Amino acid sequence: MSSLYKKNIIDHYKNPRNFKSLKTYNKRGFLSNTTCGDELEVFMYVKKSIIEDIGFQGSGCAISIASMSMLTEHIKGKNFNLITNLSDLEIFEMIGINKDTPRSSCVLLGLKTCKAVNDT
């Protein structure tokens, strides 16, 4: 059996991309996973529907942090509407974990947080 913890996941966990809070932002989202205590907060600066900048803060397991890190890389510079259309399956494929995993709530916490953003 191959490990859940592939190199890309460890890399993104140890060096999460866009791990910062934004000084200037107009959308913010926060979600926690109550069963494990993971908390993610995401900030976006969206101009003319384009995500010009994105940052996230929080604490969590390697899977939830890596997944969020990869997601921010994926959506930065793209149309904000992309988030609404992103499916769970695309996130599993992006991070390289089979969707039939006991860790699905960790994989998907980042996407859920991005989908839960409100205007500030």
Partner 1 sequence: MKIESARKDIPILKRSFNDRPLIYFDNAATTQKPTVVIDVLKDYYENSNANINRGLYSLSHESTKLWNNARDRVAKFINAQHAEEIVFTKSCTESLNLVANTFCRDFVQEGDVIVITEMEHHSNILPWQQIAKAKKAKLEWLPVLDNYELDLNYLDYLLLKYKERVRILSVSHVSNVLGSIVDIPNLAKKIHSVGGVLCVDAAQSIAHIPIDVQNLDCDFLAFSGHKVYSPMGTGVLYGKKHLLEKLNPWLTGGDMVNSMDKNSVEWASVPQKFEAGTQNVAGVLALAEGVSWLENFGWESLCLNEEKLVKTCLAGLLSICNIKILGKDIDSKRLGIVSFKIGDIHPHDIASLLDEKGIAVRAGYHCAEPLHKRFGFGPSLRVSFGVYNTQDEVKDFLNSIRSISNRFF
- Between 49 and 59, name the residue whose CB sits nearer to partner 1: 59
- Between 29 and 60, name the residue whose CB sits nearer to partner 1: 60
* Beta strands in 8-49, from DSSP E residues, in sequence order: 27-33, 38-47
Q: What is the edge-to-edge ordering of all strands in the sheet holding 50-59?
A: 50-59, 38-47, 27-33, 118-119
Q: Which residues of 62-82 are buried (b: 16+ CB within 10 A; e: fewer)?
A: bbbbbbbbbbbebbbeeebee
Contacting partner 1 (CB under 8 A), which of 44, 68, 70, 106?
106
Kindly write out the interface string for residues 33-72 of this chain, putting x where it contacts partner 1 by CB under 8 A and - elsewhere.
Answer: --xxxx---------------------xxxx---------
Tokens of 63: 């899977």
**Min CB(37)–partner 1 separation in Å:** 5
Binders of partner 1 among 5-34, rule CB under 8 A?
5, 10
Please classify residue 23 by burial: count the beta carbons closer than 10 Å to its beta carbon, then call 0-12 exposed, 13-18 middle and 19+ buried: exposed
- Between 28 and 112, name the residue whose CB sits nearer to partner 1: 112
Contacting partner 1 (CB under 8 A), which of 7, 81, 102, 119?
102
Residues that bind partner 1 (CB under 8 A): 1, 3-5, 10, 35-38, 60-63, 102-103, 106
